[in-house]
Structure 1
């Protein structure tokens, strides 16, 4: 914005605008169209590699490249430009005796940040740089606003997120991070497509009674034409399971999810997940599938099953170890699993645990959970005390979830107090959540009713009662297992990015005011 500019930047913009007028006087539209390169930088590197200059001279080719100018070294009647395109960088050599008087006049109106087109043979300079020796040169787009020289400090990190279009140009590694993220998404698609899964799309706007599938607060909006209060989806689960009922036995959706929750380095209110559902499968089947999928992605994206994240090596070689939420949560409370599930001595145990918990929020969450049910107290005790003890060098499955924590999961036949569910953790983050799906409509109805009561008692993340989903189950859903994986967190791990904002192109930020 003009009012944000310092005097120096205003002067630079004014100078560049004058150059744009000078380009017009030369018959060059400074914001042109209709000219496209035949090649990208990577084509030259692939063709010549480390070949010496004399070998390149035998077959210099006729190359045409375009991109943004990142640096200029001028020597009077010649200059070297560092030009970046989508594939990488290439040097361009502009000489007056090669591009002609007019071409060199155009070059003299160049600034760092401009987009240019150069055509000519390849060569290797005395310094060993693979180069396009321009025979023709033109400026395609004038960069009126200068690129920043560098980014540093917290305020500049915020600016990087706000102005990602600049961040991608000037910050090393950022574009590579998002290319890897794209490779993760396409790799997931290939993996599931090869196993007979069908990619589908389900609604983002939900009626209030449909806005379930997770323990989270939704965003609310209003549809004017229908005069309907709506909520943005917090999960795709319930619609995907409706499709399984309809006979689409293996389905998945990759899409944006919206949860009205806090923002930190692992949470963004708007994020991307993959949810997939497989008929005639159990959570044990998905454990094996998840191990294979993550191992494949690690190797394909990073080149190795051993990935370094913030200085810690994580080995994605299957099988991953398993840990019991019930056992670890009960132990954190100083109780046996049986006593913890039965609520025996729970109040005293929670009081002792809360007293030693330094984080007030953790103690409060534990006390509130214990008031609702023993199972929720066990889960919070695990979260507060035991989650940090999971392995740092391996992904780990957490199993043995109490039924109160899982309103959509199938009861375990051997112990109906637990459900057939797992969560996958790596680097202290939850990456995946999966379970054998509840397909008993009466049980599901009772679970929804319990959620309604919890909502009435102040649980803002409790699910609504979705009568249509129960109706779908009454038509019969085959034994099914389903899973959700957070793509942003997975991208963090596989790109060694410390914050979720580093792997979201345009993260939500507070207003500067």
Structure 2
């Protein structure tokens, strides 16, 4: 049988199941049961109900009986994830965001309502109340005295067979929702059947909260800047374009927040940050999604050395807050955010780790070197010196930097918004932080000389004319803002998605974005 016929067969089976559930829906309504409730006043999350029972046992010993006498009354709600009928009794499991709990139904307790269980399916949302007890097999359960259908699921969830290792307690699911592509497309089903996926996004929320708390506590003000911009800037990337009908003008989805945040520094808001969605019109990969989240901050009177120390403190704090002190494990490595982080200049890293000397090489030498690492001759011809060095670094050095490592002092061509390095104006006061083989943070001593900034923009314009599609366009309004005077400033950007990948041990950026960009089905 071909793969196509298997797919068609599966689809037909799925539609037959949906039709069967729709028929049950009609039967429920004929019985006077409303299958889609307005609300349910459930009092106890599953984890709280279990905790209450365990604490009662610890205080009183086994003060319960199988009949559910002298026990704790609870009211719980969640999805029905298992059901097995045993004559005049039924066992089921209900799962909510905090865990899973067994339900015990008996015909003598439920009388006329008992046969409604025949019309319930896995995936239905159910509310139940009764008393807690422990079964002969030792499982904490609810002896149900009444139950209410809260929402009828018409499509079956891809629930698999679950086993728990008796020694380690590790949960294993077989024949469940294992198609990775389908899981990303149907995140609602992925979250419903895989608690560990929900855990990842709870960790993401804790990470963002910790970043925000760290900055707020140090006098930073959270702001919002435009997503739709008449000029894109703040990074070297291709933008998404759109059209504003009323104004009849082309607009760009922002690729970074930088130029607007620095306008605020000019305006006297000395410490600002934004946690924001950015958009870059680039390919998809394990580490790249066209829509991604970054935190950027700018602080007057700091330079890149100050920001490096600040970054060490920030990441140590966030890792501890998000994981509660647990170790960070990614790709078979334990990542240590112990201070201070390792440091190399860009040229040192290429020479000592990558095995190439670029400081004295000509552009022809660099083009030959990038061809050896897989860049086509045609692409290499359109690259300036900075882009050529960046390609070599990405191929020869970046994958080898597992523990947090600052790479500093980038060539001027690679950093059109950073101040020249004191003592060597061919370089800039810029660093990137590499962790687990990828860039995590990017920061500068921000350029605040408007004349120098104009020259850098004009240099970028020449690169664009030569065919480089990832350049910084000349922004006259930003230059005007700088001409009003910008104080010495340290700037910083960090990818939230990549940080969550590292903290959660997730191998793909799609694992930490609820709804990643996908090709059409």
Task: Spell out, residue by residue over 1:271-295, the C-alpha distance to the aligned partner (whole angstroms, 9 max, x if none).
Answer: 1111111111111111112111211
Task: Spell out, residue by residue over 1:43-95, the C-alpha distance to the aligned partner (whole angstroms, 9 max, x if none).
Answer: 11332337547246797332111101111122222222211112222222222
In the alignment, what sits opposite 2:357? 335
Structure 1 residues 116 and 152, CA, compared in 2 at 3 Å: closer, same or farther? closer
In the alignment, what sits opposite 1:449? 458
The alignment partner of 1:383 has SS state of helix
Q: Are residue 60 (structure 1) and residue 79 (structure 2) matched? A: no
Structure 1 residues 434 and 49, CA, compared in 2 at 3 Å: closer, same or farther? farther
Structure 1 residues 316 and 306, CA, compared in 2 at 3 Å: closer, same or farther? farther
Structure 1 residues 105 and 188, CA, compared in 2 at 3 Å: closer, same or farther? same
Structure 1 residues 128 and 51, CA, compared in 2 at 3 Å: closer, same or farther? farther
In the alignment, what sits opposite 2:399? 388
Q: Please, what TM-score do these two structures have when normalized by structure 2?
A: 0.89
Q: Are residue 487 (structure 1) and residue 492 (structure 2) matched? A: no
What do you get for the CA RMSD once the two structures are aligned?
2.4
Whether the aligned pair in 2 keeps the contact of 1:218 and 1:260 (CA below 8 Å) is: yes
In the alignment, what sits opposite 2:233? 212
Kindly state the Cα deviation for residue 228 of structure 1 after the two structures are TM-superposed. Answer: 1.6
Kindly state the Cα deviation for residue 126 of structure 1 after the two structures are TM-superposed. Answer: 2.0
Distance in 2 of aligned mates of 1:42 and 1:162: 30
How do 1:332-411 residues align onto structure 2 when only pairs under 5 Å count? 332=354, 334-335=356-357, 337=359, 339-340=360-361, 343=362, 346-348=363-365, 350-351=367-368, 353-354=369-370, 356-357=372-373, 359-361=374-376, 368-369=382-383, 372-373=384-385, 375-390=386-401, 392=402, 394-411=403-420
* Worse-superposed segment, 132-141 or 111-120: 132-141
Whether the aligned pair in 1 keeps the contact of 2:441 and 2:494 (CA below 8 Å) is: yes
Structure 1 residues 11 and 349, CA, compared in 2 at 3 Å: closer, same or farther? closer
Distance in 2 of aligned mates of 1:403 and 1:154: 49
In the alignment, what sits opposite 2:447? 438
The structure 2 residue matched to 1:246, chosen from 261, 267, 271, is 267
In the alignment, what sits opposite 2:170? none
Structure 1 residues 4 and 202, CA, compared in 2 at 3 Å: closer, same or farther? farther
Task: Spell out, residue by residue over 1:328-371, the C-alpha distance to the aligned partner (whole angstroms, 9 max, x if none).
Answer: 3356575374x24xx4xx534653x34643x245x7665643xx
Kindly state the Cα deviation for residue 171 of structure 1 after the two structures are TM-superposed. Answer: 2.5
In the alignment, what sits opposite 1:185? 208
Kindly state the Cα deviation for residue 472 of structure 1 after the two structures are TM-superposed. Answer: 0.8
Kindly state the Cα deviation for residue 26 of structure 1 after the two structures are TM-superposed. Answer: 2.0
Matched residues, number: 495
In the alignment, what sits opposite 1:199? 222
Structure 1 residues 155 and 228, CA, compared in 2 at 3 Å: closer, same or farther? farther
Distance in 1 of aligned mates of 2:195 and 2:38: 28
Distance in 2 of aligned mates of 1:258 and 1:91: 45
Whether the aligned pair in 2 keeps the contact of 1:333 and 1:349 (CA below 8 Å) is: no
In the alignment, what sits opposite 2:163? none
Q: Are residue 105 (structure 1) and residue 115 (structure 2) matched? A: yes
Q: Are residue 461 (structure 1) and residue 482 (structure 2) matched? A: no
In the alignment, what sits opposite 2:322? 301
Whether the aligned pair in 1 keeps the contact of 2:236 and 2:472 (CA below 8 Å) is: yes
Structure 1 residues 424 and 152, CA, compared in 2 at 3 Å: closer, same or farther? farther
In the alignment, what sits opposite 1:124? 134
Q: Are residue 81 (structure 1) and residue 92 (structure 2) matched? A: yes
* Worse-superposed segment, 211-220 or 128-137: 128-137
The structure 1 residue matched to 2:296, chosen from 268, 275, 284, is 275
Distance in 1 of aligned mates of 2:393 and 2:177: 33
Kindly state the Cα deviation for residue 407 of structure 1 after the two structures are TM-superposed. Answer: 0.5
**Gap regions ≥5 residues in structure 1:** none
Q: Are residue 13 (structure 1) and residue 18 (structure 2) matched? A: yes
Q: Are residue 224 (structure 1) and residue 245 (structure 2) matched? A: yes
In the alignment, what sits opposite 1:138? 148
Distance in 2 of aligned mates of 1:116 and 1:175: 20
Structure 1 residues 364 and 421, CA, compared in 2 at 3 Å: closer, same or farther? farther
Structure 1 residues 258 and 135, CA, compared in 2 at 3 Å: closer, same or farther? same
Q: Please, what TM-score do these two structures have when normalized by structure 1?
A: 0.91
Kindly state the Cα deviation for residue 218 of structure 1 after the two structures are TM-superposed. Answer: 0.4
The alignment partner of 2:62 has SS state of helix
Kindly state the Cα deviation for residue 327 of structure 1 after the two structures are TM-superposed. Answer: 2.2
**Gap regions ≥5 residues in structure 2:** 1-6, 161-173
Structure 1 residues 204 and 56, CA, compared in 2 at 3 Å: closer, same or farther? farther
Q: Are residue 175 (structure 1) and residue 183 (structure 2) matched? A: no
Kindly state the Cα deviation for residue 504 of structure 1 after the two structures are TM-superposed. Answer: 0.6
Distance in 1 of aligned mates of 2:326 and 2:438: 18
Distance in 2 of aligned mates of 1:9 and 1:317: 52
